[in-house]
């Protein structure tokens, strides 16, 4: 889950704050002054000083409620006492070994117990790496090279996964046959040819496209609620069509639950009565530390098993894979995110979405809210978008969104820069209502200037 920021020139920081002064130094050593574009704001980023629970205080002493939660990765907010205690104990015992650890086995057992589709599991270091490993495992298992993915869906920075992550009307092509559009200049043409792009929530068009590559596809990669494609849950008919097609053709169905695993105790897949072949996870399962995991069918994951009979199909390792710090934090986080905690956060999200819908109706603004579980997104559109092309913002909508985001930030709330909010367990109804109020006044201002 990432959003890029582009500009023709770097804004000159106004030297009126500690953040501004620090950004002046950062510009001398970091491209654009940052290591990830998501933290950029005009005229400079805001730098964090410390955080506790669901609140972050910046270097200038301003406190804000955190609905961004480090791009949906902090399910228990900041400085969670249980995680601090567990990690502090492990730090004193060592941070990484060229030996296996018991905590790795315990965490794998816990995660596998949360979903019936998780027969085996392999830990990695990020959501991006989990997607990369899942796609490579699918290729190794099927001995096929191509993958299919949804137009506009974000799956990290692996070359194949990022194709058509951010197409626009000038290059996205016909809806019946979307183009494979590179994100990064210099992406090899061969990569484009090995990625088949399908529309979201359109089973008829998607299957027609997939049928043209039935003998070539190793897998279909699917996020059940893709952020960039509107943060709308996939229709049951769409998911069923993809599952049936992959089963029939021998391709694998790979789910990206890096973000959506928070939606239910066993991930969003549990709402669909769905058994994918592989599932990629990350973000919240690390308890605030870098982590990723690939779970799924034993026979598929066996391609990485060095003790399997015959040739090892996918040699895999990683210096910090299953490092005891991330694993310890992750186990503490997930044990404390039980079914009751999931239901509580989801109830708060329902309260937020209802309140936002009321504010939209009462202010008369052209806007809507989508989402499920403990995540939701506000769109500057009258109707909820069902796919990437419908979610794509025109110039006027981008301008209105920018004004709304600035207002929310100035009102004391942090939110992902698509106007997406993620909840954390330290939150109460009070924090949720604060966000609703900030959005309402933002809607009122926009409506008054329309």
Q: 10-residue block means of pLDDT along the chain (450 residues)?
A: 43 71 96 93 94 97 97 98 98 97 98 98 98 98 98 97 97 97 97 98 98 98 96 98 98 98 98 96 98 98 94 95 98 98 98 98 97 98 97 96 97 97 98 98 93
Q: Which one of 335, 358, 392 terminates a domain?
A: 335
Q: Which of 305, 335, 365 lies at the terminal end of a domain, its last residue?
A: 335
State how far the Cα of 7 lies from the Cα of 326, in Å rounded to an integer. Answer: 35
- Claim to verify: residue 120 and residue 53 sit in the same structural domain: no
Quote the CA–CA distance of 386 and 53 in Å, as a whole number.
Answer: 34
Residues 125 and 58 in one domain: no
Q: What is the pLDDT of residue 7?
A: 38
Is position 9 within any domain? no
Whether 228 and 371 share a structural domain: no
Please report whether residue 30 resides in a domain. no
Looking up residue 246, the CATH number of its domain turns out to be: 3.40.640.10
Q: Is residue 18 a part of any domain in this protein?
A: no
**Domain with 426 in it:** 46-79+339-448
Q: Which token pair is 174?
A: 């016909």
Same-domain pairing of 107 and 240: yes
Per-residue confidence (pLDDT) for residue 136, from 0 to 100: 98
Q: Could you tell me the pTM of the whole model? A: 0.94
Alpha helices in 270-375 (DSSP H): 298-301, 324-335, 339-363
Quick one: which of 348, 378, 349 has its CA closest to 439? 378
Residues 95 and 236 occupy one common structural domain = yes
Specify the pLDDT at position 15. Answer: 54
So what's the pLDDT on residue 5?
37
Distance (Å, rounded) from C-alpha 384 to C-alpha 381?
A: 7
Query: Are 326 and 371 contained in the same domain?
Result: no
């Amino acid at each position: 889950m990432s959003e890029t920021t582009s500009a023709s020139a770097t804004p000159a920081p106004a030297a009126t704050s500690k953040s501004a002064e620090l950004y002046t130094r950062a510009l001398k050593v970091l491209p654009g002054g940052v290591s990830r574009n998501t933290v950029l704001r005009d005229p400079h980023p805001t730098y964090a000083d410390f955080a506790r629970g669901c609140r972050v205080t910046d270097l200038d002493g301003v406190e804000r409620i955190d609905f961004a939660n480090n791009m949906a990765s902090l399910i228990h907010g900041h400085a969670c006492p249980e995680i601090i205690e567990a990690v502090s104990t492990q730090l004193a015992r060592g941070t990484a070994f060229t030996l296996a650890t018991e905590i790795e086995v315990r965490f794998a057992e816990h995660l596998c117990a949360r979903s019936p589709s998780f027969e085996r599991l392999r830990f990695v270091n990020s959501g991006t790496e989990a997607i990369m490993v899942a796609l490579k495992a699918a290729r190794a298992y099927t001995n096929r090279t191509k993958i299919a993915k949804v137009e506009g869906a974000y799956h990290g920075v692996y070359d194949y996964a990022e194709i058509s992550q951010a197409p626009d009307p000038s290059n996205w092509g016909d809806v019946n046959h979307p183009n494979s559009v590179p994100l990064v200049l210099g992406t090899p043409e061969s990569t484009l040819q090995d990625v088949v792009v399908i529309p979201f929530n359109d089973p008829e068009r998607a299957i027609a496209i997939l049928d043209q590559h039935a003998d070539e596809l190793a897998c279909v990669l699917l996020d059940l609620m893709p952020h960039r494609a509107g943060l709308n849950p996939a229709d049951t008919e769409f998911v069923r069509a993809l599952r049936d097609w992959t089963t029939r053709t021998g391709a694998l169905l790979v789910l990206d639950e890096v973000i959506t695993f928070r939606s239910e105790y066993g991930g969003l897949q549990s709402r669909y009565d769905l058994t994918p072949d592989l599932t990629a996870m990350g973000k919240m399962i690390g308890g605030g530390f870098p982590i990723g995991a690939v779970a799924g069918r034993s026979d598929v994951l066996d391609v990485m098993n060095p003790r399997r009979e015959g040739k090892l199909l996918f040699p895999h390792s990683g210096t910090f894979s299953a490092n005891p710090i991330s694993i310890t934090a992750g186990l503490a986080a997930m044990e404390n995110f039980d079914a009751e905690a999931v239901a509580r956060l989801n109830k708060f999200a329902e309260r937020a979405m209802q309140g936002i819908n009321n504010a939209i109706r009462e202010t008369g603004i052209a806007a809507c809210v989508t989402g499920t579980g403990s995540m939701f997104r506000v769109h500057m559109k009258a109707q909820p978008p069902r796919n990437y092309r419908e979610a794509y913002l025109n110039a006027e909508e981008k301008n209105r969104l920018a004004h709304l985001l600035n207002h929310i930030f100035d009102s004391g709330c942090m939110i992902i820069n698509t106007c997406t909010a993620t909840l954390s367990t330290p939150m109460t109804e009070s924090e949720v209502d604060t966000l609703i109020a900030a959005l309402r006044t933002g809607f009122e201002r926009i409506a008054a200037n329309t």
